[in-house]
Amino acid sequence: MSTHDHDHDHDDDHHHGAPPSPMAERVKKLEAVLVEKGYVDPAALDVFIDTYETKVGPRNGAHVVAHAWRDEEFRTWLLEDATAAIASLGYSGRQGEHMKVVENKPGLHNLIVCTLCSCYPWSVLGLPPVWYKSAPYRSRAVIDPRGVLAEFGVTLPEDTEIRVWDSTAELRYLVLPQRPDGTKGWSEMALAQLVTRDSMIGTGLAIQPGGL
């Protein structure tokens, strides 16, 4: 299953093939000047970006997932009205105004992509990874999702249905991964440690107990 509702104007400066916006150009020039004058360490800048991309941002989503795993009422609300449920935990804002959560189940795996650009739920996942914005991923995720998943190290049974969801500027998706076995009675904080950014995009699975 795949949704391709892209009849819209993207408001997040991710038009495929479009030139950088004037603001993006100014930021690049400013960064170059600061680096040249020694005010900014490029390595430190890279660490900052990596921290937001892989640590701070995804922790928000991990909190959402862990809360849904422990609270059945919240899980139901999350699947019915993701925007409101996520906002109730304090995560909202631009790039996360309209959310839909799709749930992985035995026999069903969900995969998120944005085929025209890189629409992404920043409020719960932070910055999008480079590969998510790449043309190969955006095209192959729809054409050969099983092959793409295999490249990420995810091999699913042949009878598992894979649904591909196409994010847009109007609606962004988040995967609710399956809760690993052997985690009954775990605290929300402990469960959140099992949730990875990739598991919330669908290119990965939640970490199994003992795999941390």
Which sequence positions are flagged as catalytic?
114, 117-119
Which helix (H) or strand (E) covers residue 77, if one does?
helix 72-80
What's CA 118's distance to the chain center, in Å? 10
Cα torsion 114, 46, 12, 18: sign: negative
Cβ atoms within 10 A of the Cβ of 203, count? Answer: 25
Query: Where do we find the tokens 């862990």?
Result: 66
Contacts of 58 (CB under 8 A, 6+ apart): 124, 125, 126, 195, 196, 197, 200
